[in-house]
């Protein structure tokens, strides 16, 4: 059996990419059972649906699997349709968008045969084995499909994989790794970066979070030694020195992050890495150990400067802790990102003002702090989606899997197919002024980082490489600000 796993292009094309690890994991699981697999990454290759479908079908696959987020779901659906126009091959889809919208997807997109919900490593393998043997899908947990009469069947959920170390390492050899050019946050003179995962899920219940809908507040961690084995493999085999740790929140279990840091230090790995965290899951001791082990960049989801809104979105953090940890991170020399969201449910102007005030204060902690905000987006399966339906921000018959467009998004140069949480008491046009001001401040800080990097250069050859990279960075940022 030959299987193609693919992505669809993004509405807004980025200039930096990392390999899609979800496909790498599933590919490795299939290969472990002797199934032939290839990966077609439309994002890094900049394929539209026509070109991507041609490339996919040139392999003459028995089955095609496509993953997508809500941001590029319509492009994924276009790709499914383009494949179906020329082939009767099995088309299955998965990822954080199709998991909560499985029934709607099967109702609206007739070319989709199967939806693989949540984790795909075991489910995809069992589904493909049943397909190759011409068995039915009724006994396979974790999928939705149509039966022979066209009736939609949603099988029971598959339990999450508890031991993540039983999953094979992503099939890195199936990616054209030289095409992936992402760099670490704040480390724009660094060599190319690769993504890695040390845990899956998050136990918190933030009402806006799409990952909460996907993982159902579960958290599972890898063995630190085996995780660092993967880092060392990528270090030795492919020469990677920079790692983006994709965990939703790497630092929730302190023994886990301590074990990783200690293992990196024991092996004397000269690496840099970026971690996402919560302000209530770290302290100065943990941050210091992470710094010693090579962590150079930290990302914190703060969301709001209003205690009332933090409580209403179930974030579970306090403003004093936010200030303390962001300051500690900045003082230790981390490039520190603090993410805020404006127009959260029930937000009033005074709440926005509190967020803007806190953003300004956090940015005053140092040039290595980048606090900024975006507008709240509605994602399927979240509590925010339920609120949006109840307040008729989204119509009751809204479908996530049919063509739609939200023109107000263009004001923020944002994806037009993902609805923003629009509230009458907070006109988005007024928030645009504040977002625009923050973006321009961000551009100023980017120039500061560029100058700092050029000062640190060692020779003319390095200067040429850095100027080429910085041209891409500046063009990308200017496009986001000026469009």
182-376+421-482: CATH topology is pyruvate-formate lyase- activating enzyme (3.80.30)
Average pLDDT over residues 454-483: 48
pTM: 0.92
Q: What is the pLDDT of residue 459?
A: 53
Question: How many Å is the Cα radius of gyration of the chain?
Answer: 22
Report pLDDT digits (tens) over 142-192.
Answer: 999 999 999 999 999 999 999 999 999 999 999 999 999 998 988 766 678
List pLDDT tens digits, range 340-386. 999 999 999 999 999 999 999 999 999 899 999 999 999 999 999 99
Q: Which residue is listed with tokens 């030795």?
A: 236
Q: Is the pLDDT of residue 483 over 80?
A: no
Backbone phi and psi for residue 246, each to the nearest 5 degrees, phi listed first: -80, 0
Mean pLDDT of 8-24: 86
Kindly report each contact of residues 349-356 with a partner whose C-beta sits within 8 Å and lies 24 or more positions away, as own/partner: 349/425, 349/426, 350/306, 351/304, 351/305, 351/306, 351/308, 351/309, 352/426, 352/431, 352/434, 354/304, 354/305, 354/306, 355/304, 355/305, 355/306, 356/305, 356/434
**Which CATH superfamily is 2-154 part of?**
Response regulator (3.40.50.2300)
- CA angle at 116 for the pair 111 and 121, rounded to the nearest 5°: 135
DSSP 155: P
Whose CA is closest to 29, among 117, 161, 208, 206?
161
Q: Say what percent of the chain tops pLDDT 90.
A: 82
Neighbours of 364 (CB within 10 A): 11
What is the distance between the alpha carbons of residues 355 and 349, in angstroms, rounded to a whole number? 10
Burial (CB count within 10 angstroms: exposed 0-12, middle 13-18, buried 19+), residue 92: buried
Enumerate residues 6+ apart whose C-beta is below 8 A from 210. Answer: 69, 70, 96, 379, 380, 381, 382
Is residue 204 scored above 70 in pLDDT?
Answer: yes
- CA dist., res. 236 & res. 232, Å (int): 6
CA dist 342 → 69, 110, 219, 387, 450 (Å): 22, 37, 28, 16, 29
DSSP state of 377: B
User: What is the per-residue pLDDT for 212?
Assistant: 83
Beta bridge partners of 383: none
Domain with CATH 3.80.30.20 in the chain: 182-376+421-482
The three-class DSSP label of residue 70 is helix
Task: Please give the order of strands across the beta sheet that includes 272-277.
Answer: 193-196, 242-245, 272-277, 295-303, 335-342, 369-375
pLDDT of residue 463 exceeding 70: no
What CA–CA distance (Å, rounded) separates 227 from 221? 10
* Mean pLDDT lowest among 34-48, 144-158, 207-221, 431-445: 431-445
Q: Half-sphere exposure of residue 384, counting CA atoms within 13 Å on the CB side?
A: 28
Report the relative pairing of strands 199-201 and 219-221 from DSSP bridges: antiparallel
Mean pLDDT along residues 33-58:
97
DSSP designation for 463? H
User: Across the chain, what does the average pLDDT equal?
Assistant: 92
Taking only the tens place, the pLDDT of each residue in 107-124 is 999 999 999 999 999 999
CATH 3.40.50.2300 residue spans of the chain? 2-154
The widest CA-to-CA distance across the chain, in whole angstroms, is 69
Of all residues in the chain, what percent carry a pLDDT higher than 70? 90
- Contact status, residue 117 vs residue 160, Cβ threshold 8 Å: no
């Amino acid at each position: 059996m030959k299987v193609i796993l693919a992505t669809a292009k993004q509405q807004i094309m980025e200039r930096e990419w990392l390999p899609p690890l979800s496909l790498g994991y599933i590919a490795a699981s299939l290969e472990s059972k002797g199934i032939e697999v290839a990966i077609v990454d439309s994002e890094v290759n900049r394929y539209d649906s026509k070109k991507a479908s041609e490339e996919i079908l040139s392999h003459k696959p028995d089955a095609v699997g496509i993953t997508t987020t809500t941001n590029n779901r319509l492009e994924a659906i276009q790709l499914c349709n383009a494949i179906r126009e020329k082939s009767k091959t099995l088309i299955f889809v998965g990822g954080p968008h199709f998991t909560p919208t499985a029934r709607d997807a099967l109702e609206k997109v007739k070319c989709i045969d199967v939806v693989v919900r949540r984790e795909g490593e075991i489910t995809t393998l069992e589904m493909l084995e049943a397909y190759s043997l011409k068995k039915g899908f009724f006994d396979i947990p974790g999928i939705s499909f149509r039966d022979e009469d066209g009736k939609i069947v949603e099988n029971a959920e598959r339990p999450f994989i508890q031991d993540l170390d039983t999953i094979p390492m992503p099939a890195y050899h199936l990616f054209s790794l030289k095409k992936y050019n992402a760099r670490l946050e704040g480390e724009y003179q660094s060599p190319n970066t690769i993504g890695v995962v040390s845990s899956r899920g998050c136990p918190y219940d933030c009402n806006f979070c799409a990952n909460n809908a996907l993982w159902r507040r579960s958290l599972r961690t890898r063995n630190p030694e085996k995780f660092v084995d993967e880092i060392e493999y990528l270090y030795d085999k492919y020469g990677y020195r920079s790692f983006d740790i994709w965990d939703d929140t790497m630092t929730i279990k302190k023994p886990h992050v301590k074990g990783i840091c200690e293992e990196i230090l024991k092996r004397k790995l000269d690496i840099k890495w970026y971690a996402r965290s919560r302000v209530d899951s770290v302290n100065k001791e943990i941050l210091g150990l992470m710094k010693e082990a090579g962590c150079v960049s930290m990302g914190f989801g703060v969301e709001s400067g209003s205690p009332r809104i933090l409580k209403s979105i179930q974030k579970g953090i306090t403003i004093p802790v936010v200030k303390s940890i962001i300051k500690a991170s900045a003082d230790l020399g981390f490039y520190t990102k603090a993410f805020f969201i404006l127009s959260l449910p029930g937000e009033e102007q005074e709440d926005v003002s509190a967020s803007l005030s806190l953003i300004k204060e956090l940015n005053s902690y140092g040039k290595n702090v980048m606090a900024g905000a975006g507008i709240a987006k509605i994602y399927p399966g979240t509590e925010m989606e339920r609120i949006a339906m109840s307040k008729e921000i989204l119509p009751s018959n809204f479908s996530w899997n049919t063509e739609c467009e939200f023109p107000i998004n263009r004001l923020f140069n944002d994806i037009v197919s993902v609805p923003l949480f629009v509230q009458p008491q907070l006109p988005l046009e007024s928030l645009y002024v504040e977002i625009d001001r923050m973006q321009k401040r961000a551009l100023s800080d980017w120039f500061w980082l560029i100058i700092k990097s050029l000062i640190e250069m060692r020779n003319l050859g390095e200067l040429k490489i850095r100027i080429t990279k910085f041209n891409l960075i500046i063009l990308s940022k200017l496009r986001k600000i000026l469009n």
